[in-house]
Structure formats: structure tokens, C-alpha cells
Homo-oligomer: A and B are copies of this chain.
Amino acid sequence: MKLNTKSRYAVMALADMSKFPINNPVSLRDISLRQSISLLYLEQIFLKLKKNEIVKSVRGSNGGYVLKRDPKNIKLSEIFQAVDQKVKTVGCKKDSKKGCNGKSVKCITHELWDELDIYINNFFENKNLSDLLMTKERKN
């Protein structure tokens, strides 16, 4: 069970941006250098963040990306949803009528995974970008 780099980088990059004054465009190049993330990969990630209304872009020289809302109002769950279709999943689909493993009944552990889904989502629902900056000052 692990998190993919896309989600991780997205959170890292946005946390990085949160440290700058809002409305001050931050270029991906700078984020790439500070956080050691491939620029080309960041571009891919930010397109998704943009589509999902988390950031907006400022084109041209001295441009970059800007948070669309205050970091306090950007929940981690939104970020995950933006870059990684689903926050967590098991084979048996939550809403499928067919049940699990091709059987017509729910598998024996079905409810467990549903519960886990909700549990993990809860973690991300209750954390926002500004929470990440609270923990003592860093220098990177």
C-alpha cells in the first residue's frame, strides 16, 4: 500500500507555493529546483491541478502558477482527487451492483475496505495546505 509520486509531488509543490505571498506567481522551474522534482513531470501535474481549480496560471515571462484560494481552504483531499482519480481503492468497486470477485454477493471483507476508504479519506479531508506549514520552520 503506497502513495504514488504524483500525489506526493503535488502536495509538496503546493506546500512550497504556500510559503510565498498569494498572487505572486511561482514558476515551476523554481519549484523544480527547490523540491528536486523533474520540471517536465511538474508540468503534467500542474495541468491537472489547474483543471481542478486549485491553481491558476499566469503565462509569459515572470509568470508561473498562483493558488486559486487561501491555503487554509485547500484540503488535501482535493489535491489527491485532482491528480490521482481515486484516493484509495480495492478490487471490489464500492458502487458496483455485481459484487466482488465476479460473484453475485459482496465479498466477505467488502465492508472492511469501505470502512478503510472512509477512514483514509477522512485524514485528507481534515488537513489543508496551511496545516503543513504549521509544523516548525524548514529551510528547503
What is A's interface to B at a CB cutoff of 8 Å?
A: 1-5, 7-8, 11-12, 15-16, 35-37, 80, 84, 86-91, 101-103, 105-109, 111-113, 116, 119-120, 123, 127, 132, 135, 138-140
How far in angstroms is the closest Cβ of chain B from A130? 12
Also in contact, A89 and B2, with CB within 8 A (given A112-B11, A112-B132): yes
Smallest CB-CB separation from A139: which chain B residue?
B105
Assembly of this chain: how many copies? 2
* A90 to B11 alpha-carbon distance, docked (Å): 12
Top 7 nearest A-B pairs (CB, nearest first) are: A36-B101, A1-B88, A2-B89, A15-B108, A105-B140, A3-B90, A12-B109
